[in-house]
A and B are shown apart, each in its own frame.
Chain A
Amino acid sequence: MALNMNAINFQSPKCPSFALPPIASHRSPKFFMASTLRSGSNEVETVKKPFSPPREVHVQVTHSMPPQKIEIFKAMEDWAENNILVHLKPVEKCWQPQDFLPDPASDGFHDQVKELRERAKEIPDDYFVVLVGDMITEEALPTYQTMLNTLDGVRDETGASPTSWAVWTRAWTAEENRHGDLLNKYLYLCGRVDMRQIEKTIQYLIGSGMDPKSENSPYLGFIYTSFQERATFISHGNTARHAREHGDLKLAQICGTIASDEKRHETAYTKIVEKLFEIDPDGTVLAFADMMRKKISMPAHLMYDGRDDNLFDHFSAVAQRLGVYTARDYADILEHLVGRWKVENLTGLSADGQKAQDYVCGLPPRIRRLEERAQGRAKQAPRIPFSWIYDREVLL
């Protein structure tokens, strides 16, 4: 699952009305911003505790899928074995982080490191802010494996369950684990970033977790992961392209390789949801509309570095400005999924199902229009220091 998103937070705002964070200079449509509680927010009359990371403020709903539907997923296990597990790569055929890093066992190690650092010098700070945010998101993998194991009917009951779903989840996690490892080692060697601050951010983030509002429903959960995998594929594809533009072909290869993993994962998750649309079109379209109404929240939206109470907003703004992941991408992904799952052609839907169908199909242009408006009104953005780069400033 590509929950490794270094992108804009598209969560529901705190209040039903058009709620915005106090900083109003981003180019991204503000209504998408996080429904998170920052300590010291004026919603809650508390004294700000030092070093308190943001937390989820919405009511966390559980087990919204009717229990009889769990049967569907049990019945799908054979199908999953033949159709989903095939998208995993055998470990012997997999790349490993070492394939893209200087070889410590080689005499040329020091030269390779020197070259890596030379190339990294040519890459600007704003790119590194985005790459670091990306890496931090990847490193919060425990949260994502946990999330998959919250889903009814498909969770890994023991940690070594033989069901196809559990096999998928563990193998998916294992593949994803390489992403964080690779980016971590690259960033460690490059010398352009403050590893301690990054490590601290990771510790906070894993401690914070996240609630994607999948409510233990695999319908909601797999729709979420389908969206996220595609988002992360786009995002890593963009960081790869930028790295190439900055002349670092090895880094481009790193990002590109990670992106291709995400693409493979996207294929698997969208296939699951496609099957669900076949088996239970009404339930699945309702789930799709529900997730989109709640908005797809970014996995690292609770990120905190002990200093910046709006770290995720700042990071997303840079990702938006650099075009690594934007509000436009959000609309494009949604539109792609609507097409991929042939939502427009669904028939035999209930009245609610039809409303959900209309909502989902009509949503991409609305988001695009919103984004155009936001772009048209973008004010002069501030420069903000990021602790990840020793408090050097970057334009939002």
Chain B
Amino acid sequence: MRKSVLSPRKEHDAESGNRSSLDKGPAQARQSVRQSSRYGGSRMSMRPSAARASKIGGRGTEVGLVGDHKVVDAEGKDRTPKPMLVFRAPGPLKAAGSVMGSDSFQDTGFGLGRMSSNASSMMAGGFGGRLSTQQSMNFGVPSLHTGSPIANSELWDFESESANGSPRGSESGMGSARGPMGVIKEGDEGGGRAGMARPGAVAVTPEALESAHSVRLIESANHWIWTLPGSLVPASGSDAASVTSANVRYATLLREREGNDRQVHGEAQTLNPLLKAKETQTEARSTSTAECQVGNVELQATEAENDGSQDMLEASASQQQRPMSRKQQEGAEKDDGFQPSPDLTASLLASSNFENMAVLGNLNPGSGLESTRSSFAEHGGLEHQGSSASSLAPFGLGRDSSGMQGGLTSAVVSLRTTRDQAGQTNPLGLLPSLPQLLAVMEAALLQRTHQPHFLAYRDMHPLWAPQPTQPTRPQQLPASASEEEDLALPDSAAASTPRDLSKEESMSNTTGSAQLRVLWEWSSQWGQDLATTCMAWNKDGTVQLHDVKSRQAAPTESSKVGHAKHSEAVAQVRWVDRGPDHAELLISISPDGRVTSWSLSEGLAYTDLMKLRRVASQQTPRARPAQHAAQGWAPHPPGTGSKPGTSGMKSSVGSGRPGSPVPAVTGPNPRASLLARPGSPDLPMPSSRGVAHGKDMTRVASPPRGPKPGGMPGGRRLAGMRADSSLSRAASGWCLAFNPREPRTYLAGTEEGLVHRCSVTYSEQYLSTYSGHMGPVTALQWCPFRPSLFLSASADWTLKLWEEGQMRPVLTMQAVNEEVNDAAWCPARSTVLASATAGGRLELWDLAQSVVKPAALYCAPQGVRLACLMFAQDAPVIMAGMSNGNVAVIRVHDVYDWDASSSSQEAALKAALEANVVKSPQSTAGA
């Protein structure tokens, strides 16, 4: 406990002392205080004396000014307050302490109280030393204030006693002590004593009241009942220094306690709850788990389905089937959403095993799982959920299916059974999307199959395939005649079985400039049974128009009816582009000698443009006029003059008409996007011309009536013209060529080897005739780079270049002794042309290189003839029709030159021609 130094401690006990004193009688207390203060200074005795109740006038008197007063209430009872301190005649006065000791506790209390209330004024006297240790106690003791009359009285008593010094002093003392109280009644000191002997029997006279009385206060002895050592230490004391230092240390400790390392905070629990352990046992619950993965997508999908399939479920359950927020169920955290319901266990299958499916999903709202399970059920429906039935989510029911509430099992079973039944009866038919998938798959397969070819076509190396080896030597591969392919022909309805296509052939080129490489070959149903690829529908001379897009077998238009059709097979059909203002013309030429134009305005109306007539040979100077009445067809004013078509003539060939259907087909239709315009000599469909029908193979096989194997050094032969001059005056036209720059004239090549230039409008006579070939002219084409140059191919094994206006060919090319069935200019290179021979050779001629031998060569497989060929317009590819029904797509390398401008092309061609033509007159070319 802290001890403070001489700092009086004010205790609340003083207050209580105050209170207690107040209880006694406030008036008396105050009085006594007043009086004591009046007299106390000088007359204060050293000895504290116990206070006694001053009884002035005895018992009945109040302790106050009036000693003899009695307080009587209304009823006459004596209500005078009795003094609390009963005066007892004491023995010879002893020390205050002993007197004090005999007193009651009550007295001492009062004495003490008095002591305390006397306070510092008394203490300050000599009491300091003695009372220091007890000071606090003094103060701590509930004490009366000095105002207690008892104390005063006692003091007074003693005083009077001591003053008198007689045994009677007590009484007198008392009396005198009471004097002040009863001072009033007596004026002298001794006067009060008498009154004291008999307590209460004090007569207070007004005189006594007026007289002055002296009061001497003494203190009674202190009785210490309880001592509480104070915590105050006087600064001058012996241990003050130690106390001070201890105080300082303690204060420092308190300050440093926070955060001090030597301070350890500890906790202790003072109350331990009572624990009681108990064990129970339950039956093991059978559970099983399964997983599945669900993505955001499936959640949405199944949610959408589920919303639509509400009617399938119970109403109450359906409400709870609304899936929880996706975030809860996303990903693989399925089991978090699960609250294993004691009633229900459902085993979810591992995603790898899809068997024993049962539908779960509809749960009784009573079960704890509800929405989590049900929605999980939906989502566990995994991927392929399309129908609402499947949205019920295949799940496997656990063994505790009995615990499942809700009448779902019936629905489950029914669903399952239906599925099984349906599955078993018609496994594939149940799948509505299977055909589409099959189509997609087939397309993918074919795409994969043909991808190398596609890439090679575009000069790209196929993916993941071994790099194409450098072409070393030509390989002869067997023709894949038996293979077919699902080729989208215009009229092929049923898809043929896909076959493998071949067989890249690569050829080496001796000159190294051009290469030919077969990419693939096509065959189709149409050509399978026929030795040629010509379409049968032109066999009888009808011109039929087929719509490629409509894919119908029947032609759109036909010229079967009436006399419109050619009496012979149609040799060639051409579309003439007359510009944007006019529709295209369909011109056909046939061995029956008619050049017919067909218009599509009403049905298929025809107009004979020309009837090819035989031209008399040069030896017969008479020119036979054409005898026919051809309907004029004059969309254009006849602008072209007519020249007597009697230029150098040679007819070496007979009419060649009988029954030689050399059908040729170019089946284009104006509506087909692939239609070839006559301006471009390429036909969209490879057609073979000149190769006879199967039954007419004999014809072609027979050597042409052209030049004898010995060649025609230059002589001209006359055919037996005269023999059939009257009967058959029509020359059989085999080929047709329209100049893109001059659509009003056209070239017609006949079987006689003549090339007639005719006018569209003037049908009477030829404008000019180019003779030189000794065999039927099989192909004609104007040069795309040089408008006055055209190419003719003939069955007399030669190719001839003609310049318009010159009756002699500019150039003649022949490689082998095989009749040339088709020839064409290369659209991208002015000096390049190709020819297809009946021996199966595809020759690529480059005039700039050589006119003697072809620059590149492709040999068809053994026994296959090339019937026709076509350059692709935008790709370096040549298509060649073969006699086995295949179409070869041949890649041309290093030939096409797209970048060169037309002027440079022309210049190149011109240079080539000049280079060669100069030589040609010397060589025995042409004729």
Asked if A and B are interacting partners, one says no
Residues in chain B within 8 A of chain A (CB atoms): none
